[in-house]
Amino acid sequence: MRYARPLLVAFLVACAVDLVGVLTGPEWLHLGAKPLLMPLLAGYALARRGPRLLVAALLCGWAGDVFLLADSDLAFLVGMAGFAAGHVCYLVLFGRARGALLPGIAYAVVLVIFVALIWGGLPGGLRIPMAGYSLLLTAMAYRSGVLGRYAATGGALFLLSDALIATGIADWPQLPAPGFWVMLTYVAAQLLLTLGALGPVVTFPSAGRRHIRTLAAPAPDPGTSSTGVWGRHAESTHLTPPGPPSGRTTGM
């Protein structure tokens, strides 16, 4: 846990540098910062003792990031395969808990309509791979909801990020600075998925503070009966409320 905060800060700094590089240049900022993003986030997950599948998903994303820095069809397909492997890791991590029905229907409708709309604009050699990838990505985005709001938002942002890429490949009109929005939604997605998988941070007082608190505690009144003490203990236990339950260049 001692390295978790520095690693998270380093990840956020790398994100800022990368986004500046994408938005204003020079290009070497993006080329230097992008490969650092997922290793730093994976390091943060390790420092928080996160699940191995989460770390594996982030490292698969790192492989995708690196391959997609190269401008070639082969690198694009290999990078897309890296992200697809990451989605499989996420799906296994999410387990078999039942998701809500309505979001599942909504995701399915969006998938069918979107793929149908961009199909004609995609290069022939990318149509089948991107359709399969889109199905896997949409399944991950839907299933992410089982881990709570953070992960659900991360899954939706991941879908949005790759949808923006897919519209660029299909030669649709683009937002100003499209690469900036692609990277912004991507890094936000991975961060929120990570936070959702890790759960809340639980901190405990240090041994020294517990010792001081113990020494400072008042001694029990000798005149108090054991029945009274146990009665107050049971009452306080009953009244204590329970704690809370436990960028990129691939396309959708």
- pLDDT tens digits along 178-222: 999 999 999 999 999 999 999 875 554 544 444 434 444 444 444
Query: How many whole angstroms separate alpha carbon 69 and alpha carbon 64?
Result: 9
Inform me whether the pLDDT recorded for 229 exceeds 60.
no
Pairwise CA distance, residues 251 & 129, whole Å? 10
* Comparison of pLDDT for 160 and 252, the residue scoring more: 160
Of the pLDDT bands very low, low, confident and very high (cuts 50, 70, 90), residue 226 is very low
123 alpha carbon, distance to own chain's centre? 30
DSSP 242: P
As a whole number of angstroms, the distance between CA 150 and CA 188 comes to 10
Mean pLDDT value across residues 69-94: 94
pLDDT-based confidence at 241, cuts 50/70/90?
A: very low
Q: Does residue 227 register a pLDDT over 60?
A: no
Residue 157 has pLDDT above 60, yes or no: yes
